[in-house]
Structure 1
């Protein structure tokens, strides 16, 4: 099951800047457009915990 497009529209980075996230369906990740953190999607559930995120290219 894929993530609902309406859910993707409202999801934002949980950090204080609350920037939008980009979705990579193949990698099953969401990436913050501002800080670059990468959030996993596990069992079709986005894990938007800062402690669980990994740094991305923009971090």
Structure 2
């Protein structure tokens, strides 16, 4: 689980905007870029090439 302190300082690597924890807590979402960065073994994978596009 990602701490609130870490979540407060993380930013989207593409637009530098804020990210928020997804509802299933398996990723970090950037609403601006519509990308989700996966969390693996409690480590956020903040690589643009590995991000997934949001549905809808």
Give the shorter-chain TM-score range.
0.7 to 0.9
Per the normalisation by structure 2, the TM-score is: 0.87
Whole-angstrom CA distance in 2 between matches of 1:6 and 1:25: 18
1:21 and 2:19 matched: yes
Q: What's the TM-score once normalised by structure 1's chain length?
A: 0.83
List alignment gaps of at least 5 residues for structure 2: none
Deviation >6 Å, runs of 4+: none
Matched residue count: 56
* Between structures 1 and 2, the one with greater helix share: 2
Task: State the alpha-carbon separation in 2 of the partners of residues 7 and 26 from structure 1.
Answer: 18
